[in-house]
């Protein structure tokens, strides 16, 4: 039987494509069993079409005859193929894929695919930063990731599930909608051609000195907003999250489109320190605003004004999430 040629993917690339993926340190069996039980319950509810289906985010990366394939699929049927194209399938089809995951036993699998069916055998000591395949499932605040580490025993069941999930979405994914550049993507998002799920915004404004106001971090992925406060001594704490409406995400896309972020300098002179990264599918831009040694706060005042408007809008989202958000329990 012909054996599929494997593409070894760095874990850094996997995490960059899909932030939900993690190679977790070993912990006690009790917390893992509790988390698995919570995920199993929510998976049952999601595949039955109950409200938690809207909180499903499935991420898959694997290999095929043409190389690496990747999938992000949401409970409402919106998907992202290879990070480049958005597509849609019927939510009933999503429920069918969740059913196949449940049937395969995903919820109770160990986090390393090489240990599936070998839980009582010693692990192979290899470089955990290289993976061949991975699946991550998030439902609300519960997540689980299983990875096939390179040069470890292959799990036939895990490989079959990865292949099934990717094959099921490949045709629709290849025929999906892309973005020529960031502005095109934001315009399509603003106008409803692209779904909110394709937008990611990361803004980091760490506290610079103990006497400065508290710092903050915001991550927006589609309608999900996550916020954390920051202090120089305590780091990032108080993780909270809220969900926006689709219209609120489109309004944000409209503001970002009007700012034409890709047309701004990548470095802007400003007080404090703020990093903002905006991603639509595989189109991205990043801007850093801070004080530069020996450079007065002048330069391009129009760029500073535009950046400040964007920063203020994102900070407003952070404050709302910090005020109204649900504390993380995962």
Same-domain status, 56 and 28: yes
Among 122, 153, 174, identify where a domain stops. Answer: 174
pLDDT tens column, 136-151: 999 988 999 999 887 7
pLDDT of residue 294: 62
pLDDT at 132 over 90: no
**Side-chain-side CA neighbours of residue 213 (13 Å):** 5
Please report, in angstroms and rounded to a whole number, the separation of the first and last CA atoms in the chain: 42
Same-domain status, 214 and 277: yes
Q: Whole domain around residue 29: which residue ranges?
A: 9-174
Euclidean distance between CA atoms 95 and 74, whole angstroms: 10
Same-domain status, 146 and 216: no
The CATH number covering residue 62 comes to: 3.30.1560
The verdict on residue 86 lying in a domain is yes
Domain total in the chain: 2
pLDDT tens column, 213-261: 888 999 999 999 999 998 878 888 888 999 999 999 999 999 999 999 8
Same-domain status, 138 and 268: no
% of the chain surpassing 90 pLDDT:
60
| C-alpha of 179 from chain center | 19
Same-domain status, 165 and 205: no
Decide: residue 329, CB within 10 A, 0-12 exposed, 13-18 middle, 19+ buried: exposed
Same-domain status, 95 and 131: yes
Same-domain status, 94 and 156: yes
Among 174, 192, 219, identify where a domain stops. Answer: 174
φ/ψ (deg, to 5) at 250: -65, -35
**pTM: predicted TM-score of the whole model, two decimal places:** 0.83
The verdict on residue 4 lying in a domain is no
DSSP annotation string for 18-44: -TT---PPP--HHHHHHHHHHHHHHHH
List the alpha helices (DSSP H) in the chain.
11-17, 29-47, 91-104, 156-174, 182-191, 246-259, 301-324
């Amino acid at each position: 039987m012909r054996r599929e040629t494997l593409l070894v993917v760095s874990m850094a690339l996997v995490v960059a494509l899909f932030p939900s993926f993690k190679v977790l340190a070993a912990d006690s069996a009790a917390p893992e069993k509790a988390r698995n039980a919570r995920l199993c319950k929510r998976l049952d509810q999601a595949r039955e079409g109950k409200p938690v289906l809207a909180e499903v985010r499935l991420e898959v990366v694997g290999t095929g005859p043409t190389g690496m394939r990747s999938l992000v699929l949401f409970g409402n049927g919106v998907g992202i193929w290879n990070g480049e194209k958005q597509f849609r399938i019927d939510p009933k089809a999503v429920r069918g894929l969740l059913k196949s995951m449940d049937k395969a036993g995903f919820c109770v699998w160990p986090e390393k695919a090489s240990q599936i069916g070998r839980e009582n055998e010693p692990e192979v000591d290899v470089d955990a930063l290289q993976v061949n395949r991975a699946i991550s499932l998030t439902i609300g605040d519960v997540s689980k990731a299983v990875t096939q580490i390179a040069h470890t025993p292959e799990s036939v069941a895990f490989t079959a599930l990865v292949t099934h999930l990717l094959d099921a979405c490949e045709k629709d994914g290849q025929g999906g909608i892309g973005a020529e550049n960031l502005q095109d993507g934001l315009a399509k998002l603003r106008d409803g051609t692209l779904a909110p799920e394709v937008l990611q915004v990361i803004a980091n404004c760490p506290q610079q000195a103990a006497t400065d106001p508290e710092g903050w971090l915001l991550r927006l992925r589609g309608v999900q907003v996550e916020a954390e406060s920051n202090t120089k001594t305590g780091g990032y704490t108080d993780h909270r999250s809220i969900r926006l409406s689709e219209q609120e995400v489109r309004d944000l896309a409209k503001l970002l489109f009007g700012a034409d972020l890709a047309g701004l300098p990548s470095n802007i002179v400003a007080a404090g320190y703020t990093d903002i990264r905006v991603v639509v599918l595989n189109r991205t831009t990043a801007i850093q605003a801070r004080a530069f040694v020996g450079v007065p706060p002048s330069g391009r005042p129009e760029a500073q004004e535009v950046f400040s408007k964007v920063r203020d809008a994102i900070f407003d989202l952070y404050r709302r999430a910090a005020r109204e958000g649900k504390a993380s329990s995962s």
